[in-house]
Structure 1
Amino acid sequence: MFLEKRSGNEWIVCEEKVEKEKLGYWETLFTLGNGYLGSRGALEERIEHSGTYLAGIYDNERIVNSPNPICLDIWVEGSKLDIDQVLEHKRALDMRRGLLLRHTVFKQNKRRFDYRSKRFFSPVNRHLGGILATFKSLDKDVEVVVRSKIEGKGKKDLFGRPLNQYFITEVGEKGGLLYLVANTSELGIELCFATSLEILDGDKPVGTLSFSFDSETSVAEVRFIAKKGKSYRINKLISVFTSKDTKSVKRVCLGALGNRKPSSLLRSHQDAWKRKWNNFDIEVKGDKDVQRSIRFCLYHLLIAAPPKRIDTSIAPNTLTGDTYQGHIFWDTEIYMLPFFIYSWPSKAKDLILYRYKRLGNARLAAKERRYAGSLWPWESAQDGREATPDWWVNFDGSKMKVWTKEREHHISGDLVYAIALYYQFTKDEKFILEQGAEIVFETARFWASRVTRNAKSKKYEIRDVIGPNEFQKKVDNNFYTNFLAGWVLKYAHTLFHFIKQKHPSKFEAIVEKIGLSDREPKRWKEISERLKLNISSSGLIEEFDEYFKRKDVVIKERNESGMPLWPAGVRLEDVGKTQLVKQADVVLGLCLFSNEFSLQAKKINFEYYEPRTIHKSSLSIPTYALIAIEIGEIEKAYRYLQLLANSDLSNLFGNTSRGIHGASLGGTWQVVVRGFGGVKSKEEKLSINPSLPRAWQKLKFRFWWHGHNFEIAISKEKVSVFLRTKTKDVRLPIEIYNHTYYIKSGETLTIER
C-alpha cells in the first residue's frame, strides 16, 4: 500500500492495519510533541485513549489531560467514515521529519474513499500544529461533510473515576476560527484551543464553513460535493495557549492562526527537525533494527524536553500519558538527564533548576519530618511538595499501600549525583556557585540528620528505608541508599573546601545564606567514612541487613523476549520474604559509582543478583546492560539493549498503551554512548574506551564536554574524534583505549586499537 514519500525504514515506525485492541498502544508510540505539548497519536476519528498534555500544567497535583483539538471526522452522504469500514490502512511515524503519516482506504456501501494525512506540532512555534489531509472519492460523486472538533469532554483516572480537572468556560467562533476556552479546577489556569479549517480543490476553496457548539465541544464543518477521482485538500491548523503564556489568552490564541500558510508552517517544521537530527542523531552501521529503535528513543526524548521558559521537568511517561499523574521521579535525574548532559547541556541545567526552584519546599519537608537540610519529594509536581499518592495499582491489578514517600529517601542522593555528573561534563562553575552547591549542602545536612549511630559497632546506619528494590517495604542499611548517602556527604565536604579555597567571596555568601559552619563538613566526612556497608571479603554485597537470610528464589524461566518469568510458588504478597529483586539495586550502586569498585566485585555481584532480578521496572535493564559491558559480557549487554531499546515498540512491560517509558529512552542512550561507546569523564580528562557488539560495524554520535563539541566515529579497528569548537588554539587531553593523547580544535584524531 502506498504511503506518501517518507524517510528510510530506519526512521519509520509503521502500523500496517487497524486493531481496536491496540489503539492505545499506537497512540503512545505515535505521540507528537515539541516539549510545550504532547499529543497522543489517536486516529482523527477515534480519540478514546487520547491525551493532550501541556508541560507544567497541573491541577490537584496531577498533569491535566486537556481538551483535544485533533478531531477530524468525514461524513459521506450522512454516514461517518470509521475504522469499522477500513479496506486498507497504514500509518507511520516519520521520526526524521517529526510527522505522523496516514493512508486509509474506507469502504462504505461498496464505495471506496481514499484518505491521507500528515500531522505535526511545530518545534519552531510551539503553540502551533496542523493536520494536512487529502480526500478522494474513488467510485462516484458524493456529498461530503468534513467536521473539525475541539473535544472538551473530561477524562477518567486508572480507577475509572472522573478527573474533573477543568471546566469549559466558553466555546465559539470568531473570524472563521473555532475556539474552546477552559479553566483548570483548582488553580484556575486558563487554556485556549483554536483551529482553522479549509477545504481546497487545487487552490480554490470549496463548500461553506458553518459552526455548532454544545457545553463541551466546538465544531466547524464544511459541506461539499466530491467529484469522483478528484483529490481535495483538507487543512486544519491548531493553536494552543494558556494563561501561563499570556494574559490575553483567547486573543493571542486566535491571532496565532491569522494568515498562517500550512505549507510554510510544515516546511519550517521539517527544517527544524533536520537541524535537531544533525545534533542528536546516533548512527549504527550493520544493525538496522536497533538503529531504528535508538532513533525512536531519541525522538521521544527530544519531544519531551520542555522549553526554557516553562518551569517543569520530565515525567516517567514524558508527555505521552498520565499513568504517574505527570509527577517527576528519580527517573529524570538518573536515567534521562545523562542524555541531556552529554547532548544538550543547557537543557540539562534547566531540568536541574526545576529542583532548585523548589528547594524551599524540600527544606520544609525535612523540617516536618524533624530532619535537617532538604528532603526531596519522591514524587514532585507543580510546586515541589510531596505528591505521592497513598494508594496505587499493583502488578496484579490490586490496590496497594504506597510507602515510598515515607521511606524511599535515596531520591535526595540521586539529585546530587545528577548535579555532580552535570558539573563533571560542563565545568559550569557559575551554576555550582549560584545553585548547585546550595542543593548539595542542604542534602548533605539531611543525610547527616537521617543516620543513626550504632553505639556497639560505632558505625552509622540508615534504618527503615526502601531502596530501589521496592519489593522490600522497610529495611535497614540498604546498600544503594547507604553508599549514595556516604558519597553525597563526601562530595559535599570536598565541594565545601573547593569553594572556600577557589571562590572565597562566593563561599562567604553561601555559608551566610544557609548558616553553614565549618563543623558540619567535618561531621559529613566522619559519617561518610563510617557508614555501614554489608560487603563480604569476597566482594559480594548484601543488599540490606539480613537479606541473605531471606528465602533464596532463583529465576529459572524466561519468556520468548528473554524477560524473567515470575517464579512458580511465590505469591506477590510474599515476595518481600524472598531474595527476589524488583529492579537493579546493588548493581545500580556499582553502575553509578563504577570507579569505586573492582572488576571482580562487579562480576561477583552481577552473577549473584542477575538471576534474582525480575526486572519489574523499566529502570532495571539499562543498569544490567551497562555493568555487563564493564565485565566484558558484550553480547549479553547487546541482548539487554535489544530488550531495552524496543521495550515500548514491543510492549515489553504490557502497559505501553498508558504511556512511553522515559527511563528506557534515556537508558538506551546511556547503554549506547556511555556503555558501548565508552564515553566518560575521568580525572579531568575525556575518556573513550569503546566495546562494540559483534553485529555493529560502526557507531557515530556527537556530544559536549567542557563546552566543546565532539564528533566520534567508532569501528572495531579504530576511534576517530573530531573536535568542533569556536575557541581557537584549544588543545585538550583525551584518553582513548587507556592511553592519553591531545586533540586540537578543528582536528580529527584517529587512534587504532
Structure 2
Amino acid sequence: MNQDYIVPDNWSIIEQGFDVERVKSSESLFSIGNGAMGQRANFEESYSAETFQGSYIAGVYYPDKTKVGWWKNGYPEYFAKVLNAPNWIGIDIEINGEKFDLNACSEVKNFRRELNMKEGWYNRSFNAVLQNGTEVVVNVTRFLSLTADELGVIKYEITPLNKAAKIIFSPYVDAGVKNEDANWEEKFWEPMDVQHSGNEAFVVARTFKTHFSAATYMHNSIQLNGSDLKVAAQDVAAGKDKVQFSYVVEAGQGETASLIKFGGYTVSLNHDENNLISAAKQVITDAKAKGYDALLDEQKAAWASIWEMADITIDADVKAQQGIRFNIFQLNQTYLGKDPRLNIGPKGFTGEKYGGSTYWDTEAYCIPFYMATKDQQVARNLLTYRYNHLEKAIENAQKLGFTNGAALYPMVTMNGEECHNEWEITFEEIHRNGAIAFAIYNFYRFTGDYSYIPEKGLEVLIGISRFWQQRATYSTNRNKYVILGVTGPNEYENNVNNNFYTNYIAKWCIDYTLEQIAKVEEKYPADHSRIMAKTNLDAAELAKWKKVAD
C-alpha cells in the first residue's frame, strides 16, 4: 500500500492512531461491499469533523444533467452517477449525558482500524475520554453479508473503565442524504413511506427521474455482558425520511453494553416496489434466526471459498502481498457475478468518483481476472451485460450519424447510454469497441465454451464491425483506409490520425467477426439464419468490411 500510515500486514489493512487528517482517506481504504451494496468506513456515531458519508446500492443511479457551456450532436445529456443511498449505519450515542463524538473527546488513544480481507469484516477499536471525564473502551465490528446480500451487520460495544455509565444508543435509518458531488446540488431521493414496529424500522424512498425504490431498514437488539436484555426502544422519533430509536443501558464499571444492528436495503431492482418492506422483514427474520455469531461465521466461510480460488501469494514482500490481496478483495467486493444487470465501477463502493459507472476497463482488465478465479458464468454475465445494451450502443452510434445497425459502445454508462461528458473521450476514444469484441474472443479462448457467440456474441460483433467499416475513410494519397481524429488508450493526445492501437483493433475486429460468421454458418446454421435475418446482413456488406480491413 502506498499510504504510508497503513501498517504492512499479509491479510489486513490496518491503521493505528487517530488522526483527523486521515479520516476521509481511511473511509475509502476501509470500505466494504458484497456486490449488491457498499459502505464507506464512516463512523457509526456522530462525528463533527470532516467526513464523507457514503452508502451505495449496486445498479441504483441518477442522471445528473451535464453542466457545459456548449453542446454538440451526440453529446450526452447527463452523467450517470451512483447515489449516496440512505444511511443505515447511523448510531447516535450519549454517555453520562454527553454526546459521543471522537472529534470532541478530551483524549483518544489506542485507536486501531482493521479491514480483515481474509474473513471479510471491518473493525474499529479505541479508548476515549469524554469531556465529562468518563473513559470508555469502544469496539465496533461491521460486515456486509456475502450469503445474504441485502444484509449488513454492526456490533457496537462500549465498556466504561473508570466509572459506571448511563449509555443511550440511538440507532437510525435516514433517507435525507445527498451526494458530495452533484452538478446542480439536487436531492436525489424522495421519501415515500416510513414505518416502525418493535425494534424494527423502515424508510422507503424513491430516486427522482430513474424511480428506483429502496426500503432502508434496521433491527436492533441490546446486550449487557453478552446477554440479550430483550428491551424495546424507550423513545421513537419518526419523521418523513428518518426513524430513530433510543435505548438506555445502565452499565457498571467494566461492564460491556452492546448494540447489534441489522440493516441494509431491499430494492425495486429485485422486488415488487409494493413489497419492499415485507421483503426487508424477511431479511430481518432470517438474520435473527441465525444470530450475529453464525452470520459472522458464514461470512468467514464465504470469503474462505473466494480466496481458495483467487489468492496470489508473494513471499518476502509484505507490502506487495498486502497490495495484491487488497486489489483482489476490492474486485470481489464490487462484483460477484450474480446479476448480469450489474458491472464493475472503477472505484468500487469506496466513493462517488467515476460515478460508479461501467467503463471499458471491465473487458480489458477485469474479465480475465474473473475467468481465472470464478465459475465461467461470472465472466459470461459480464458479456451478457454488453449484449443487453446492444440496442443502446446502436442508438449511441446513430446520434453521431452512423447507420445500418452500427454500434458504438459507451465510454461510460449505467444503462447502455453514453454519459461521459468530455468530448475527446466521448467522440474520439472509440477503441473501447475493440475491447468489447476482444472480450468475446478472450472468453472462448480461456473457457473453450463457444456457445455465447452463436447465442448472443455474434450480434455484438456485427454491430461493432459495422461501426469500424463506417468510421474508416479512404485516403487517395495513401491508397488505403484510414481512421482520423481519435484519442488512443493512453489518453495523452487527442485528435490523432491513425493511432496504431485503434487501427489495429479495428482491423482485428472485422477479421474476427468475418471468421465467426463463417464458423457459425457451418456449425450453427439455425443461429446463423436467425442472426442474418435479424441484422439484415448480406454478402455485399461483408465485402465492404473485408475491403476496409484488408
TM-score norm. by structure 2 comes to 0.89
Which stretch shows the higher mean deviation, 260-269 or 301-310?
301-310
SS of residue in 1 equivalent to 2:18: coil
Whether the 8 Å CA contact 1:493–1:522 is kept in 2: the answer is no
The alpha carbon displacement at 1:461 in A equals 0.6
The alpha carbon displacement at 1:160 in A equals 7.2
Whether the 8 Å CA contact 2:84–2:179 is kept in 1: the answer is no
Whether the 8 Å CA contact 2:341–2:385 is kept in 1: the answer is yes
2:151 corresponds to which of 120, 123, 128:
128
1:375 lines up with 2:405 in the alignment: no
SS of residue in 2 equivalent to 1:442: helix
Whether the 8 Å CA contact 2:215–2:276 is kept in 1: the answer is yes
1:236 lines up with 2:261 in the alignment: yes
1:196 corresponds to which of 219, 237, 253:
219
Distance in structure 1 (CA, Å) of the matches to 2:477 and 2:163: 91
SS of residue in 2 equivalent to 1:481: helix
Residue 93 (structure 1) aligns with? 115
Residue 249 (structure 1) aligns with? 276
Q: Which has the higher contact order (CA 8 A, sep 6+)?
A: 2
Aligned 1:638-657 pairs, distance under 5 A:
none
Distance in structure 1 (CA, Å) of the matches to 2:179 and 2:209: 17
Cα 1:63–1:158 change in 2 (3 A) is: closer
Residue 362 (structure 2) aligns with? 332
Structure 1 residues 199-225: Cα deviation after superposition (integer angstroms, max 9, x where no partner): 212324076513212333221121121
Q: Which amino acid aligns with 1:386?
A: E
Whether the 8 Å CA contact 1:499–1:506 is kept in 2: the answer is yes
1:219 lines up with 2:206 in the alignment: no
Residue 91 (structure 2) aligns with? 72
1:388 corresponds to which of 417, 420, 425:
420
Residue 482 (structure 2) aligns with? 461
Whether the 8 Å CA contact 1:340–1:348 is kept in 2: the answer is yes
Q: Which amino acid aligns with 1:67?
A: P
Cα 1:301–1:360 change in 2 (3 A) is: same
Structure 1 residues 97-154: Cα deviation after superposition (integer angstroms, max 9, x where no partner): 1000111111013331011011001000101110113210001112110111223232
SS of residue in 1 equivalent to 2:266: strand
Residue 422 (structure 1) aligns with? 443
Whether the 8 Å CA contact 2:444–2:450 is kept in 1: the answer is yes
Whether the 8 Å CA contact 1:239–1:256 is kept in 2: the answer is no
Aligned 1:559-570 pairs, distance under 5 A:
none
1:106 lines up with 2:128 in the alignment: yes
Structure 1 residues 59-97: Cα deviation after superposition (integer angstroms, max 9, x where no partner): 223222111111123211221222222233101000011
Distance in structure 2 (CA, Å) of the matches to 1:510 and 1:168: 46
The alpha carbon displacement at 1:306 in A equals 4.8
Aligned 1:140-539 pairs, distance under 5 A:
140-158=163-181, 161-201=184-224, 202-205=226-229, 208-209=232-233, 210-247=235-272, 248-258=275-285, 259-260=288-289, 261-309=291-339, 311-344=341-374, 345-372=376-403, 373-382=406-415, 384-389=416-421, 402-529=423-550
Residue 138 (structure 2) aligns with? 115
Q: Which amino acid aligns with 2:464?
A: T
Whether the 8 Å CA contact 2:213–2:268 is kept in 1: the answer is yes
Distance in structure 2 (CA, Å) of the matches to 1:122 and 1:76: 30
Distance in structure 1 (CA, Å) of the matches to 2:340 and 2:190: 23
Q: Which amino acid aligns with 1:446?
A: F
Aligned 1:48-63 pairs, distance under 5 A:
48-60=51-63, 61-63=80-82
TM-score norm. by structure 1 comes to 0.65
The alpha carbon displacement at 1:295 in A equals 0.8
Residue 732 (structure 1) aligns with? none
The alpha carbon displacement at 1:159 in A equals 6.1
SS of residue in 1 equivalent to 2:356: coil
Q: Which amino acid aligns with 1:285?
A: D
Which stretch shows the higher mean deviation, 306-315 or 104-113?
306-315
Q: Which amino acid aligns with 1:256?
A: V
Whether the 8 Å CA contact 2:437–2:460 is kept in 1: the answer is yes
Distance in structure 2 (CA, Å) of the matches to 1:407 and 1:444: 17
SS of residue in 2 equivalent to 1:273: helix
The total of aligned residue pairs comes to: 510
Distance in structure 2 (CA, Å) of the matches to 1:296 and 1:59: 29
Residue 77 (structure 2) aligns with? none
Distance in structure 1 (CA, Å) of the matches to 2:347 and 2:173: 24
Whether the 8 Å CA contact 1:56–1:310 is kept in 2: the answer is no
Cα 1:487–1:307 change in 2 (3 A) is: closer
Whether the 8 Å CA contact 1:409–1:466 is kept in 2: the answer is yes
Aligned 1:534-545 pairs, distance under 5 A:
none
Whether the 8 Å CA contact 1:18–1:83 is kept in 2: the answer is no
Structure 1 residues 577-597: Cα deviation after superposition (integer angstroms, max 9, x where no partner): xxxxxxxxxxxxxxxxxxxxx
Distance in structure 2 (CA, Å) of the matches to 1:122 and 1:146: 23
Distance in structure 2 (CA, Å) of the matches to 1:421 and 1:300: 23
Whether the 8 Å CA contact 1:305–1:347 is kept in 2: the answer is no
SS of residue in 1 equivalent to 2:314: strand
The alpha carbon displacement at 1:231 in A equals 1.6
SS of residue in 2 equivalent to 1:192: strand
Cα 1:160–1:218 change in 2 (3 A) is: farther
Cα 1:107–1:295 change in 2 (3 A) is: same
Distance in structure 2 (CA, Å) of the matches to 1:163 and 1:422: 41
The alpha carbon displacement at 1:294 in A equals 0.9
Residue 744 (structure 1) aligns with? none
SS of residue in 1 equivalent to 2:414: coil
The alpha carbon displacement at 1:301 in A equals 0.5
Cα 1:246–1:142 change in 2 (3 A) is: same
Structure 1 residues 675-727: Cα deviation after superposition (integer angstroms, max 9, x where no partner): xxxxxxxxxxxxxxxxxxxxxxxxxxxxxxxxxxxxxxxxxxxxxxxxxxxxx
The percentage of counterpart residues that share the same residue type is: 27
Distance in structure 2 (CA, Å) of the matches to 1:160 and 1:448: 37
